[in-house]
Amino acid sequence: MKNIKNNPFLKVRKNKYDAIPFDKIKTEDFMPSIEYGLEQARENIEKIKHIKDRPTFDNCILSFETSSEFLDEVSTTYFNLYGAESDAEFKKLAQKISPMLAEYKSKILMDEILFGKVKKVYDNRKSSNLNDEQIRLVEETYKSFVRNGALLEPDKKEKLEELDKELSKLGPKFSKNVLDATNAFELHITNEDKLSGLPDTAKEAAAYTAKQKGKDSGWMFTLQFPSIMPVLTYADDRGLRKNINTKFGSRAFGDKFDNQDILKKIAALRQERAELLGYKTHAEYTLQERMAEKTKTVEDFFERIFSVAMPAAKKEISEVKALAKELDSLNNIYGWDAKYYSEKLKKRKFDFDEEELRPYFKMENVIDGIFKVANKLYGLKFIQINDVPVYHPDVKAFEVTDDSDTFIGLLYLDLFPRETKQGGAWMTTYRSQGYYKSKIRRPHVSIVANLTPSTDKTPSLLRLGEVTTIFHEFGHSLHSLLSECTYRSLSGTNVYWDFVELPSQIMENWVTEKETLDLFAFHYKTNKKMPDELIQKVKKAKTFNKGMMNIRQLSFGLLDMAWHAHDPRAVEDVEAFEDKAIEKTRLLPKTKGTNSSCGFVHIFHGGYSSGYYSYKWAEVLEADAFELFEQKGIFNKEVATSFRNNILARGNTFHPMELYVKFRGQKPDPDAMLKRDGLL
């Protein structure tokens, strides 16, 4: 093996909890670490292949599970930083690292000798005195081999390996283009009249951005969500709204960062891969490992939502149009008008403007509130620590313990936008809970987001939607932090993708409850609690325009399935294909020059291909599950303990529906989400 003893990944660590040495890692450390990890992993695989004894759970399955621990740590760190903190030089490495990892995975999972040993353990699993989790690991390991070509003929194995290598390069290219297109746009405004209607917080943030960008005066707007949302919601200048809306919707579409050819290639290669493995489409292949199981199930699910939500959405949009006509004599409205007039309609109906909430949502208070919710539900404590390295000054590290001071895990929070970070919000792990380095270890978890940052005058004050986002991602983090599995590949969020959103989306329900808001929603200047009257307005407005919101999410789900539930290789015109796919959900005229597919990182690099429906699917589960909390009390210890023990702790050790029924006592009501949204 290569001598890389001074590499920070290999050096003996004195960091608390064996934390990643972010302060020591440089870009040039990754390639030698990946190469070393691959060499080490291959040696471990060869040892398994050449064991003379009968293949057993320990000498085969567990040895395979732990064969690439070093490689896993390095590659996980690399790709986590790729999304959270990486420059152009760092990103270039993906074009080398991704195919190397894809080739390794393909060769291992198509190795006849190795598969033969795995199959022997699989065939004898019921008579080998294994516990339920061991049997589950055997079955999941066997399936991973089969689903990655172990049963194919040699020539088809070779073809599959080529496809996987090519796909591994295209995903990072796609997401890099979206980020580059996002960063390429800057709108500098010097005439304050154009900012009419914008809240002071938005103007102040734009002025601060202008200063950071080297401008002596004026206001700077970018395509980051904290910048564009106030414009689309409040700016009286219709031209400004149109400009921002159009630029955001046209990212990586037809410009120098164009993703059209890349996404067509990704979709085509996925289809070819699925056919090679004996499936009609990529969706059919993917859904075999989902609760939905079949394309028809997803289509029927979508049709049920459409049948209920579309009539409501049409009524809602007609009200918005009527207000636009009344206030500004508009005969038609477009994408850049919808949020603006919807906000005015909400104000009229409920005497409620979400900007009223911002002073009560100081970021530090919101985080403190999330921690208090976790304490009341699960007895967790979060202590900020400074003796763990972080990868950027914005990142904060927290030690998580339970009420008996037992270490639960490490939590990193990285909450504000920067040009080296992908847009959106997500939870990820640097170390999954489970067996690692010869013993069962606790997880290291990270929440990454792009929230409204502080300025030189005002602290970070969040929109209600941003608060909801952080509660959502925190739900994912609890799924990882509270995992109590033996094996990492089964632990935490390593579950079916249409189940993984249940722990995250159920957390959103706590955001607007008075019992929750009383824990943290204090005015950042007066420290007074959010008034009950304002909380009631928030509650009353919860179902406002839910028909439109459901249809919007449905359009993304339909677009995903259009690319993946049919053969996409004949698609030439990305725009025309998309228009046809989502035509039935269109409530407003199409904005010329925009395209969702080209910026749809979730499905073309984020792991949600054939799975975007999961968000709505999980809403059914969480709406049904939260009913139990509402019946017994949102901080009821008995219900919380059951949710923890039966859902959060179990990972993928049982089928998700089995876990859900253990918690709820019954299967979910398929209409629970529609009822919760006031549509039934």
Question: Which of 473, 501, 578, 619 is flagged as catalytic?
Answer: 473
Whether the Cβ atoms of residue 181 and residue 247 lie closer than 8 Å to each other: no
Do the strands 444-448 and 407-414 form a parallel or antiparallel pair, or are they unpaired? parallel
Token reading at 349: 């109906």
How many Cβ atoms sit within 10 Å of the Cβ of residue 58? 10
- Three-class SS state of 466: helix
- Three-class SS state of 529: strand
Residue 409, phi then psi, degrees to nearest 5:
170, 180
**Distance from C-alpha of 680 to C-alpha of 673, rounded to nearest angstrom:** 9
Give the DSSP H or E segment for 408: strand 407-414
Buried b (16+ CB within 10 A) or exposed e, 496-525: bbbbbbbbbbbbbbbbbbbebbebbbbebe
What is the CA angle 560-418-396, rounded to 5?
100
Whether the Cβ atoms of residue 505 and residue 474 lie closer than 8 Å to each other: no
- Three-class SS state of 432: coil
Please name which of 553, 659, 674 lies closest in space to residue 623, comparing C-alpha atoms.
674
**Distance from C-alpha of 357 to C-alpha of 343, rounded to nearest angstrom:** 14
Partners of 461 in the β-ladder: 362
Partners of 400 in the β-ladder: 382, 409
Query: How far separated are the first and last CA of the chain, in Å rounded?
Result: 64
H-only helix segments in 408-545: 464-481, 501-507, 514-520, 532-540
Residue 532, phi then psi, degrees to nearest 5:
-55, -35
**Distance from C-alpha of 648 to C-alpha of 492, rounded to nearest angstrom:** 7
**Distance from C-alpha of 11 to C-alpha of 30, rounded to nearest angstrom:** 14
Beta strands in 149-202 (DSSP E): 187-189
Sign of CA dihedral 613, 619, 620, 622: positive
Whether the Cβ atoms of residue 424 and residue 601 lie closer than 8 Å to each other: yes
DSSP state of 60: I
Burial of 437 per CB tally in 10 Å (0-12, 13-18, 19+): exposed
- Three-class SS state of 410: strand
Residue 285, phi then psi, degrees to nearest 5:
-65, -50
Give the DSSP H or E segment for 170: helix 154-184
H-only helix segments in 455-494: 464-481
How many Cβ atoms sit within 10 Å of the Cβ of residue 460? 23
Catalytic, 473? Answer: yes
Amino acid at 274: A
- Three-class SS state of 440: strand
Residues annotated catalytic, as ranges = 473
